[in-house]
Homo-oligomer: A and B are copies of this chain.
Amino acid sequence: MSQIIKPKSISGFPEWLPAERYIELKWFDTIREIFESYGFCSIETPSVEALEVLTAKGEVDKEIYVIERLHKEDGEKEARLALHFDQTVPMARYVAQNFNELKFPFKRYQMQRVWRGERPQAGRFREFYQCDIDVINVDNLPLYFDAECPAIMVEILQKLDIGSFKMQLNNRKILAGFCQALGIDDFVPVTRIVDKLEKIGADNVKKQLLTELSLSDAQANQILSFASIKSSDDGFAKAVRDLGVSHPTLDEGIDELVFVINTLNNLVKGNFEVDMSIVRGLDYYTGTVYETRFTDAPSYGSICSGGRYEDLAGNYINKKLPGVGISIGFSRLFDYIRAQGKLPKGRQSPADMLIVLFDESQRLWAIDLAKQLRNGEFLAAGRKMNVEIYHSATKLKKQLSYASEKGIPYVVFPPADPGGMPELKFMDDPDRAQEALTKLTGF
């Protein structure tokens, strides 16, 4: 025998046991079903892009993995390729490249793995799934989509039953206009500091505004008052205006966010909060921004974020392509619920039924029955069943324990007399009773 290599997981590259994967797949199905129910189409891009595409925006703060052929010959020239670190950059390249083939507004979803070579820790992986939706249009994009996108994500998070969470909204124009009204021309450094409010607290934010940006005490106080404004409806508008500053960009941002929060509250109930401290550190957002946190674990960070950008693909094409998008950090969300022990109980087989064999002579009968059950020809309303046939006519106890250990809810016994009806036995696992019954009866 050759040398034994100890099989182990690689830090930051998660993989799940079959019963966990069973639930992960159900989550993906739910997400996809809801994305599609709003008419978003699926695309996938390759896992790799030319390195120059990934670094086109200049400085990249994500740790990129490059790939290289192990047996590359010396001096062999090949384009440098790297694994994508998000789905936005590849989508921008895709939209520019296929501009003439796509119909706009282009509404797409993308559920793929992305890679970042960051130091792994709880909730931060090196390989993970993201589930993104974006809407892209040419020249102008209706503000309606700034509400539809987060509404879809909240519908999904509600359906996944992840516990209490809050999606926080803001509009970067509000802070930009507010700063300009205060005489602060460049608001980006202000967003970087305000972004840390939750983490370092109001006192430290004020200190940094004073020392790092040389703001006056009055300016810093105004910004802190501003950043503390929250509301679950359009009440934030009055609170901001009550601070007594005025600017066209501020007004524009307020009007947009009022429209978005009111439309949102029509689309899906609950879970939203306008929060003036949410600014997203990323420079490319220009309007509405979103972040989502667990109510009881805000420090875990955002599990669903995004925003509006004025120009998606300016690096690749001479068209103005504004968009709005939002992304679920799928793996970190799933892993959080998993680590808390709050995942529903999965199972190691998707089979609904196991046909047991008393005697090898029953195999042909079993094959035929399994075919009918799989094709929906046996049960009412064409319900299709996933069916395993036990592989040998061994002791019944062994066959039943196989069903039990794999979580297969029903066992089918061959008829006592040839031509008789098979008998159906429910394995009586309360955790799976409802799921099994619904599949069998439709109720």
Q: A13 with B46: in contact, given A37-B387, A103-B406 (CB under 8 Å)?
A: yes
- Contact yes or no, B56 A44, CB < 8 A: no
What residues of chain B lie closer than 8 Å to A16, measured between beta carbons?
43-44
- Contact yes or no, A314 B2, CB < 8 A: yes
Within A314-361, which residues are at the interface with B (CB < 8 Å)? 314-318, 347-351, 354
Shortest 3 CB-CB distances between A and B: which pairs? A39-B388, A39-B351, A13-B46
- Contact yes or no, A15 B70, CB < 8 A: no
Closest Cβ–Cβ distance, residue A76 to chain B (whole Å): 11
> Which of B2, B44, B66 is in CB contact (< 8 Å) with A21?
B44
What is the total number of copies of this protein in its complex?
A: 2
A144 to B363, CA, bound (A): 10
Q: Spot the interface stretch: A77-85, A163-171, A209-217, A222-230.
A: A77-85
Question: Does A10 sit within 8 A of B, measured CB to CB?
Answer: yes
Task: Write the A37-81 contact mask toward B (1 if CB under 8 angstroms, else 0).
Answer: 111111111111111110011100001111111111000000101
- Contact yes or no, A386 B71, CB < 8 A: no
- Contact yes or no, A5 B56, CB < 8 A: yes
Closest Cβ–Cβ distance, residue A9 to chain B (whole Å): 7
- Contact yes or no, A70 B81, CB < 8 A: no
- Contact yes or no, A127 B63, CB < 8 A: no
Question: Does A308 sit within 8 A of B, measured CB to CB?
Answer: no
A-B contact pairs, 16 of them (CB 8 A): A4-B315, A4-B316, A10-B81, A14-B46, A15-B46, A15-B94, A16-B44, A18-B102, A21-B44, A36-B350, A37-B386, A40-B349, A41-B347, A63-B69, A67-B83, A144-B391
Question: Does A270 sit within 8 A of B, measured CB to CB?
Answer: no
Task: Write the A1-45 contact mask toward B (1 if CB under 8 angstroms, else 0).
Answer: 111111111100111111001100100000000001111111111
Question: Does A384 sit within 8 A of B, measured CB to CB?
Answer: yes
- Contact yes or no, B66 A43, CB < 8 A: no
A404 to B386, CA, bound (A): 37
What residues of chain B lie closer than 8 Å to A144, measured between beta carbons?
391-392
Q: Spot the interface stretch: A105-113, A185-193, A411-419.
A: A105-113
What residues of chain B lie closer than 8 Å to A438, measured between beta carbons?
none
